Amino acid sequence: MLFKFPKASDSKESDITPESLYISRRQLLGATAAGVALSGLPRWASADVAGQYAEVEPGRAPAWFADKLPSTRWQAVTVQGEAITPFKDATHYNNFYEFGTDKGDPAANAGALKTEPWSVVVDGEVEKPGRYALEDFMKPYQLEERIYRLRCVEAWSMVIPWIGFPISALLKQVEPTSKAKYIRFETLQDPKSMPGQRSGFALIDWPYVEGLRLDEAMNPLAIMAVGMYGRELPNQNGAPLRLVVPWKYGFKSVKSIVRISLVSEQPKTTWQSIAANEYGFYANVNPTVDHPRWTQARERRLPSGLFSPNVRETQMFNGYSDEVAALYSGMDLRKNY
Ligand SMILES: Nc1nc2c(c(=O)[nH]1)N[C@H]1C(S)=C(S)[C@@H](COP(=O)(O)O)O[C@H]1N2
Ligand SMILES: [Mo]
C-alpha cells in the first residue's frame, strides 16, 4: 500500500462519507487533542512533517479559516514514504498564468490579488443556486488535511499537504438536478490585479475554466482546497479556494475559483481550447500516453537540480488507481487523454 485510504470499490457511492476517510479513530483523537500551536501550525505532526512545516511562512488567515483550522482532521489522507515538498518550492515554482508564465511570476505578482472579501457563485443545474460570501459558503464544511502528489503535465511533481473538503460535500449542499452531468469551475477575471490577463499576447481566453464529470467530482479524493502546510493558501497557490484532483495533471486543479456551475454538457476547458491534441478534458496522469512533444513515463520530483535531478517513474493515475480506475472502466484512455 502506498497510502492509507479505503478503496472506493469497497463501498457504494452512497456509503462514502467524509468519515470513511479517517486513517483510524486513534489518530483522529490524537490530532484534535493536540490542537494547533500558537504559531498556527499543527503541533501533532510526526517528526518529518513537523520539520517541513517549521519552515512555513506564516500567513494572514481570514477569520473564518482561523476558526475552522483547529478542528481540521489532520492527515486524513497521506502519502507513504515520499517526502513532502518544501514549502519554499511549492510556493515559488508555480503555474498561474494570470500572474505570468514564468515559474517565479505567481510568487512575485500574486500579492496584488485581493482575497477578502471573496464571493462564490453556484449556478446551473442545482436546486440551491446562489451567490455566497466565502465565509458563508465555507460554513457547512469540516476541513481535512490531504497529503497528495501533484503531477504537472510538464513532467515535474511535488507532494503537497492541502487543507480542504471533498467536493461531494459541496454537491450535497447545492443538490444537483437530474440534468447535471458535469461540474464547471471558473477562476476570477480581474485584469487590474492579474497582469497576465492584461498582456497583449492572448494565449488564454480568460477566465481560466476547468471541469469534471459528476462522478469524478463525487470521488472522495477530489477536493476544494482552502489551505496548505497547516495555513491558508498563499495567493500564488490559488487563494482563497481552488480545486485539487490528485489523479489528474495539475492543470485540472483550477485556482482562485469564483464560480461553480453544474451543467449538462462537457464544459469547454482552458487547455483543451488552446491545444486539444495536447491537452484533453480527462487529463488523467498516464505514463503510457505521451504528450505529443515529450514522454510522460517519468517526472522530476521537486526539489530537483542539475546534479540531483530526482527523477522517478510516473504512476498510473498518479498512484491513485485503486481509488479512481473504476471511473474509467471501458473507456479508451488513449482517445480520452
Ligand atoms: N487559474 C489557473 N489555475 C491553474 C493554473 C493557471 O495557470 N491558472 N495552472 C495549473 C497548473 S498547469 C498547475 S501544474 C497547477 C499548479 O498548482 P501550484 O502552483 O499550486 O503547484 O495549477 C493549475 N491551476
Ligand atoms: Mo501544470
Q: Which residues of 261-281 are buried (b: 16+ CB within 10 A; e: fewer)?
A: bbbeeebebbbbeeeeeebbb
Report which bound ligand comes closest to the CA of 225. 1
Domain membership of residue 43 (yes or no) is: no
254 C-beta closer than 6 A to ligand 1: yes
Position 34 in a domain = no
The residue whose CA is least distant from atom 21 of ligand 1 is 94
Q: How many domains, in total, are found in the chain? A: 1
The answer, yes or no, to whether any atom of ligand 1 lies below 6 A from the CB of 98, is yes
CB half-sphere exposure, 214, CA atoms < 13 A: 18
Residue 195 in any domain: the answer is yes
Q: For residue 315, is it within any domain?
A: yes
Cell of 230: 497547516
Say if ligand 1 is within 6 A of residue 95 CB: yes
- φ/ψ bin of 27: left (φ > 0), alpha (ψ from -120 to 50), beta (otherwise): alpha
CATH number where 167 lies: 3.90.420.10
Per-residue pLDDT of the chain (337 residues; tens, 9 = 90+): 333 333 433 333 333 333 223 223 333 333 333 333 333 444 444 444 445 577 898 899 999 999 999 999 999 999 999 999 999 999 999 999 999 999 999 999 999 999 999 999 999 999 999 999 999 999 999 999 999 999 999 999 999 999 999 999 999 999 999 999 999 999 999 999 999 999 866 689 999 999 999 999 999 999 999 999 999 999 999 999 999 999 999 999 999 999 999 999 999 999 999 999 999 999 999 999 999 999 999 999 999 989 999 999 999 999 999 999 999 999 999 999 9
Our answer on whether the CB atom of 251 is closer than 6 Å to any ligand 1 atom is: yes
129 within domain boundaries: yes
Q: Which SS3 state, helix, strand or coil, does residue 135 take?
A: helix
Residue 44 included in any domain: no
Average pLDDT, the chain: 87
Distance from Cα 238 to the centre of ligand 1, integer Å: 8
Let me know if residue 27 belongs to a domain. no
Query: Which residues form the domain of 94?
Result: 74-328
Domain contains 101 = yes
As given in the structure block, the three cell numbers for residue 336 are 480520452
